[in-house]
Structure 1
Amino acid sequence: MSWAVARDFRPAQPGPGWMALPLAAIILDARGRIAAMNDAAEPFLNMSSRSSLGQFLEAEPIAARVRISPPLGPMIAKVAGGHDALSQPAVRFDIGDRSGGHHTRLATIYLGPVEDPAGGVMMIISPTDTADRLGRGLAARTAARSAIGMAEMLAHEIKNPLAGIRGAAQLLAMSLPPDEQDLAELIVAESRRIVALLEEVERFGDTSAPVLAPVNLHNVLDRARRSAGVGFARGVRLVTDYDPSLPAAMADADKLVQVFLNLLKNAAEAMERAGHQDGTIRIRTFYDGTLRLAPTEAEPAGRALPLQVEVEDDGPGIPEGIAEQIFDPFVSGRENGTGLGLALVSKIVTDHRGFIGVESRPGRTVFRISLPKAEGET
């Protein structure tokens, strides 16, 4: 079935200021069809303005991609009929993704009349879930830093006696009969494993600040992708979906490569454990001008994090019991995992004054990193 635009439809022509609004905004014509959509609305609704123009917001084909509750039709009709501006908090948007599933965004909706002879309505979407998610995430990062400070101190103190134990076990093995050497070799092997874990903890505790400079995120992602493709992700399909207009980020390129290598490795290993022989990892970049941290005394306007990188896989998803603590140190979803990989990722992103979040269910896991752009970038 084709969804042709009706002949009586006329797209709206809003000014450049409207298109640059940091919040998602849509203009509906007098009949309730989408007449214009700004840049921020496209990533929020996960659809392009070109494919949406002329379609009804709550009818096919839009309704197949975005389920809205409660329905906005009655409010839109009131405002289009001459009613004053209206608002509706806690509107639920269930937004479709490539794998056929949906993820939920909550928002407050503001509706107002458009000054147009033919009538019409402007709808502004103000997300309410982002601030809550950012707040929970930053609180978890603060707790993680305290835990790692203690772990780093313990790691330093434990490594010294371990070296003595390992040396003693090696000397003991030399004087034991062959049938009793296995136990001494076990002590040596386990001591080495513990030292490796402690060194990982010490790397996590590195407090040196990232060396920030303007960085092309696509160059960083390609470095990580190429390295993964010839190593741990050889059996995985790596797909890129880059926004070529993305401005430079203010970042440390080497540390970001470490972040993306960790995320790619986690995804590849998760699919391997689940027996996915033809798994896909998709790396996507886009610009989201709506994402901003809460205002602080140092940053009264809040911190803008418009540069978005998503690493998506079609693996089994994060185990439900650890999904909320996945960035905490020593929390791991795999047997014999140290639980430091994602904690290190979170630390590096936080050191970049950015944010990382995750959405996961069986068949789709998406890690999303939000970063500030370099000064002077538009």
Structure 2
Amino acid sequence: MKHIRNQIEEAGGRVFRFGGAVRDAALDREPRNIDFLVADLDAEKLEEILGSHGTVRDTGLDVPAFAFRRKGAAEEQATFTPARGASIEEDLGRSDFTINAMAVDLKTGERIDPFDGASDLHGRWLRAVTDTVFEDSPIRLIRTSQIAVRLKFQVDRGTADLMYSSAKLARNLEPDEIWPEIVKLLTLGERPSFGFNIWRATGVLGILLKPLADCDVSLGKKRIPNVLDHMLVALDSTPSTKLRVRLAALLHDLGKPGTYQEAEDEEESFIGHPGLGAKLAGKLLKRLGAPKDLAKDVKHLIRNHMFNDAFDLSDSAVRRLLDRVGPDMIGDLFDMRFGDRIASGKPRLAMGKLGSLRTRIERMLAGEPDKPSVKDLAVNGKDLMEALDIEPGPEVGRILRELFERVLFDPDLNKKSKLLKLAREINKS
């Protein structure tokens, strides 16, 4: 970019790195993209200079901005935005948050920070630059959550109040604006539930994702009776970062409020909720503009998420499950159900029953014997008695069964040294 910068400066312009690039550098993060602000040079001249070095594309935003790709490069490397204000500070005042309203003069190295974004970076706060930040660009109502999740920042109280008072503006957003932000929220952060809870607290969720907001009710006597809370914990708990798995975990119980039945002497029931949930999820994803194939996969996972995972399933029952779900989807279904089990307060079932069934299916697909047992462990009762100095009896069997459950969940543990170390920990518990 040095040649481009030199040519811009020779034409009388000044180049500033700004926005996310400055923020990410301060956070020691690899910038997702590099934004440059160009002052004292009109848009036509800037486009001409960029065009002499590569391919230029107008980003199509209200503000003129050019995405640049160097000759021979496969992807766009940067965005150049002509300054519009009488000063750089005025242009930075059009940013969304203070942490994005900083710039660095590439010629002098001077940092320009008119809204004290550095302090908010240090405190890990998302703070709006102006009171009209969401009125100026309603997509920021959506973007706030994904930025907060991705950076692990909190939304300050004043900004949350602004979101609440501006939430109705989310109705004006188009699917092609909303969907990319939801994808980022679900796939780029460790705890996406945090972003959905920001929308929940500010009223955005009910406008943007009403079927999900309708699940903000408590039903029955579960560990997490609130259906929305349960789905958000399932979302965070799934071990997969695949979009279809995370969407399915987020939406898997949409059908529960509509199928809830309470019985006097029995546990509450939700008969038919997977089918209704798949239908509701399909409608929601269509409205959000999700790709059809993705929506189809998500519905398939939701429809099948209540499969029987008993230890004593017959071989034919396991094969029917595999045939119904498909070899390409079965792993994703287990990842989704794992999150569901954790959210239901059943981690041992997630590691035990699910792990056992998953191993059976993996062996079946590999053409191996499909019923793992304690005999497959790299240690036996004699090994445990010698290592732990214990007598034959029920305690040996208990430790072996516990080791077996751990190995079902994590097959890499099935090494003698690792198992004996685990056995010592189990023996002390």
Higher relative contact order (CA 8 A, sep 6+): 1
TM range (shorter): under 0.3
* Structure with the larger strand share: 1
Structure with bigger gyration radius? 2
TM-score by length of 2: 0.21
TM-score by length of 1: 0.23
